[in-house]
Amino acid sequence: MDTHTISPLRLLLKAVLLFLGLNLLCATLSPMPALGQLSLYNNLLPGRQRLPYGDDPQRSYNLNLYSIEAMFASHVLTGAPKPADEFRVFVIGDSSVWGFLLENDDTLSAALNAASLHSADGRRVVFYNLGHPTISLTKDLMLFDAAMQYQPDLVLWPTTLEAFPWGKQLASPLAQNNPQRVTALAERYQLPLAVPAETRSPFASLFFVHQRRNLADMLRLQLYGFAWAATGIDVHIPAEYERHAVDLEPDESYAGLEPQLERDELAFEVLAAGIQRAANVPVLIINEPVFASDGANSHIRYNSFYPRWAYDSYRSLLAAEAETQGWQYVDLWQAADNGEFTNTPIHLTPQGTLQFAYAIIETLSSQFDLNP
Amino acid sequence: MTLQQIFVFAALGLLAGRAYGRISRPWLLFAASVLAVFWLQPAALVRGFDFWLPAASLGLAALVWALTLPPDARPSREDKLAAAALAAGALLLAATRYLGTPILTASRPPQVELVAALAAVLALLAWLAARSLRGRAAALGAATLAVLAILVALKAEPLARGLNAALRSLSGQDPALATALDLNWLGFSYIAFRLVHALRDRAAGRLAHYSLRDFVTYIVFFPALTAGPIERVERFVPQLHASFLLGAAELQAAGRRLVTGLFMKFVLADALAYFALNPALAAETTSTLWMWLLLIAYAWRIFFDFAGYTHIAIGLGLLFGVRLPENFARPYSQPNLTAFWNSWHITLAQWFRAYFFNPLTRFLRTHNWPVWAVVLVGQVSTMALIGLWHGITWNFLIWGLWHGVGLFVHSQFAAARKGRPAPAAWQHAFSVFATFIYVALGWVWFVLPQPAQALQVLRVLLGLS
């Protein structure tokens, strides 16, 4: 028997030194963006039809993560160079674009693709779902900024009042967890976004301590890819869910704002930044459908999201801003029947999504010469 | 075992390795195992049972020890000290209920008075067993049946639900909410087999005399408590008394097993779990190719999970100077099903061979059954029981029969090929592949609780759906 004894203290010291050294190396190299681009998707696995998002990963084979690189690397958009015969349209926005409670085949992008549109020069129009289920124009801008390298020919930007208040711009976890990206956008476009300074203990700033969640999420995204590829499922739709409210509270408040809404209370500058970022690529801003209640207190509110005064002011302000700035804008707030909303006043059923898509197609036909 | 628990045990092994000149290793392992059995026990949905179940494991070990004492043996001072330590440990743990936060148990322990009363009853039973029942064939047989009856009650869904409903009533909870999973008695499947091993070996006159301390340590040895392997007592106890110093060679061997086990369990198995076949994925997948991928992922997942735990158990055992037996020996590289079962969960197969297959086939042979029938009945019934050991359900039974029939067919094939030259390399490779596919198809029965769904999955796998 080898009787050479081991010093636990020395063992521990070596382990700590190795850990610190590896952390230092990783902190110096900043490998997270590069790691995020490593993906089985579009290689061994098919790319996803929409950006990763899932509150119930074990049933949706999908999950929430904050690495924009990993999110895009998993999307079918990034799988191959843009074909010459493709007229590429990005659809950005919130959960109603992403397709909350909708199968992949029932999302807005899928409905638009089903119309088999062609551009005037004969290219087939392909719509890409780049929605993400949190409501914030800044979050939309951040994703749009990352997506621009994939050469869109047109951008559809459905949105709603909830995305506009300045106070809600950084409420999206995706924005909160990408402070460098938000700060860069704020600086580039002079946006008054106060990104909170990171407050971490020295220990928490160690690479593996700080990035362990991101690393684990990136790995889990790859692993869930197999189940996604096997089943085609990327969303869990419960058999029963609570429908949106029809009878409403007699509450006139909205986001701490007072009637009438003032232009400066809404983040039009973020919208303008997006259009500036698009440069020569046209952007169609769309006021997306919302439920308009005829139940209790419907004279005060349209729905559980919006009091009438706030939503009416917002529509007027957005239309006026679009006209002043020369933006292409269409107001489709009533494009879906009232019976076609699901769990919130903005989430649509497959039929409601089709109605919304038809309304968009009319605009695309008249304003962009995209036709079946 | 969680990662945290594994690291705590490893740290204890490292620290204790330097102190064996000053502390007794058998007593250390006894104390650590007794405390670990409470610490490792997950929360039970019946109030107080995350205390009572580990306590019952220790109580059963003590009772079986008393019953299996040799006729001429008298409890020693060390035995009395171990008994006192068991009682004191249980009472001290129960007393932690007054600290507000449970320390070793998953929830607040029961009242000290109740624990004291039951400890006294147990001591009386052990005394009576040692005095009047020990070594008696009827008592040993009854004890074996009792241990197996508990195992059956835990494994059979209707019985488990009924038992849990009764226990819920006793503890003032609503019996209507009882499920079969309320009692997750940690490691009892393995504890039961160690107890039965001791009882049957005593009945056969093969069991040596062990102290209470060593016997309890053997039954609930913490590295092997959750997932085996099933050690034999005559191999285990002498290792407690062999001289041991944790040197570089021992540490290197233990470290290699621990790192291998951690990687297998927490990296490979846990990663494969994301897309290994399960009832939900089985229902949602219609492609033959993808179904095969999910099934192969499951086959490797279950191997890495189980083999990983075994590596961890062996690695922890080595840190404390105990070499536990191997449980896996490259099972998916075996050229036939017999070789597979000699390399998959080896200690379980050996246990069944010793206590079921050999006695049964001996009995059948002495009653002049033809050889093929002895093999058929022996192998099929043994594998059926191994299947049912995982849970008394149709799917586990079918999984056992699948392997039993496979083993019989292979034994007949091997008998027919006897004397022929060894197979060529390509034939060997094909045999390995075919064996893996047969085992993998068997996992369909294992992983899917509903046989109808298993049949549907088999249809998809064979391209018939």
DSSP string covering B96-124: GGGGSS-SSSSS----HHHHHHHHHHHHH
Q: What is the mean pLDDT of chain B?
A: 94
> Residue A193: is its pLDDT beyond 50?
yes
> Residue A2: is its pLDDT beyond 60?
no
Range from A330-344, B31-45, B165-179 carrying the lowest mean pLDDT: B165-179
Q: Report the C-alpha gap between B381 and B331 in whole angstroms.
A: 22
Q: Flag if B245 and A3 touch (Cβ within 8 Å).
A: yes
Range from A25-29, A304-308, A350-354, B238-242 carrying the lowest mean pLDDT: A25-29
Count CB pairs under 8 A between chains A and B. Answer: 62
Domains in chain A (CATH in brackets) are: 24-197+204-368 (3.40.50.1110)
- Assess contact for A320 and A309: CB atoms under 8 A: no
| b/e burial code for range A312-349 (CB count within 10 A of at least 16 → b) | bbbeebbeebbeeeebbbbebbebbebebbbebbbbbb
Binning pLDDT at 50, 70 and 90, where does residue A366 land? very high
**Cis before A260 (ω within 30):** yes
What confidence tens digit (pLDDT) does each residue in A72-126 have? 999 999 999 999 999 999 999 999 999 999 999 999 999 999 999 999 999 999 9
pLDDT in the model for residue B74: 85
Give the residue from B153, B57, B56, B39 showing the smallest Cα distance to B106. Answer: B39
3-class SS string, A18-47: HHHHHHHHHHHHCCHHHHHHCCCECCCECC
| b/e burial code for range A228-251 (CB count within 10 A of at least 16 → b) | bbbbbbbbeeeeeeeebbbebeee
Chain A CB within 8 Å of residue B394 CB: no
What confidence tens digit (pLDDT) does each residue in A315-355 have? 999 999 999 999 999 999 999 999 999 999 999 999 999 99
Phi and psi at residue A130, in whole multiples of 5°? -115, 25
Tokens of A293: 């209640």
CA distances from A141 to A70, A163, B197, B428 (A): 17, 11, 69, 60
Q: Out of A3, A8, A231, whose CB is closest to B284?
A: A231
The pLDDT of B333-355, averaged and rounded, is 97
Contacts of B321 (CB under 8 A, 6+ apart): B25, B239, B240, B242, B244, B246, B250
CA distances from B56 to A75, B86, B185, B187 (A): 54, 12, 10, 12
Q: What is the mean pLDDT of chain A?
A: 92
Greatest extent of chain A over all pairs of C-alpha atoms, in Å: 88
> Residue A253: is its pLDDT beyond 70?
yes
pLDDT in the model for residue A198: 59
pLDDT in the model for residue A80: 92
How large is the ipTM?
0.86
Which residues from B are below 8 Å from A226, CB to CB?
274-275, 293-294, 297
What confidence tens digit (pLDDT) does each residue in B48-78 have? 899 999 999 999 999 999 999 998 888 899 9
Binning pLDDT at 50, 70 and 90, where does residue B456 land? very high
Length of chain B: 465
Binning pLDDT at 50, 70 and 90, where does residue B42 land? very high
> How many helical (H) and strand (E) elements, i.e. helices and strands, does chain B have?
21, 0
Tokens of B386: 């191994």
> Residue A201: is its pLDDT beyond 60?
no
The pLDDT of B153-177, averaged and rounded, is 90
Radius of gyration of chain A (CA): 23
Binning pLDDT at 50, 70 and 90, where does residue A204 land? low
| Residue B269: CB atoms within 10 Å | 21
Greater pLDDT, B86 or A15: B86
> Residue A1: is its pLDDT beyond 50?
no
Chain A CB within 8 Å of residue B21 CB: no
> Residue A177: is its pLDDT beyond 60?
yes
pLDDT in the model for residue A5: 61
Give the residue from A284, A366, A334, A356 showing the smallest Cα distance to A97. Answer: A356
How buried is B304 (Cβ within 10 angstroms: 0-12 exposed, 13-18 middle, 19+ buried)? Answer: buried
Which residues from B are below 8 Å from A54, CB to CB?
none
Give first-to-last CA distance, chain A, whole Å. Answer: 82
pLDDT in the model for residue A4: 58
> Residue A275: is its pLDDT beyond 50?
yes
- Assess contact for A336 and A293: CB atoms under 8 A: no
Which residues from B are below 8 Å from A216, CB to CB?
none
Greater pLDDT, B146 or B172: B146
